[in-house]
Amino acid sequence: MIVFKVSFNQAWGRWRDFTFVTCRSASEAITKALEEINVPEKMNDKVIITVSVEGQVGKKKKRGKNK
């Protein structure tokens, strides 16, 4: 699983919000974030959505033993 930071910003205003979600893909992260963030609904308003990968969850590094 990958940790994504999904940011929302109105193109013509100051409203900004973001959330961190854990998903398998960027499209799934956007869908999940839309359920959590309250996006204002206005006529002809443009919203910019930015997705960035912040890290991974659940993978442990394997350490090898030298003999």
Statement: residue 67 has pLDDT above 60? no
Give residue 5's pLDDT band: very low, low, confident or very high (50, 70, 90).
very high
Tens of pLDDT, residues 12-66? 878 889 999 999 999 999 999 988 888 777 777 888 899 999 998 876 666 666 6
Provide the pLDDT for residue 58: 78
* Whole-structure pTM value: 0.73
Residue 63 DSSP SS3: coil
Following DSSP, what letter does each residue of 1-59 receive, concatenated? Answer: -EEEEEEEEETTS--EEEEEEEESSHHHHHHHHHHHS-----TT--EEEEEEEEEESSP
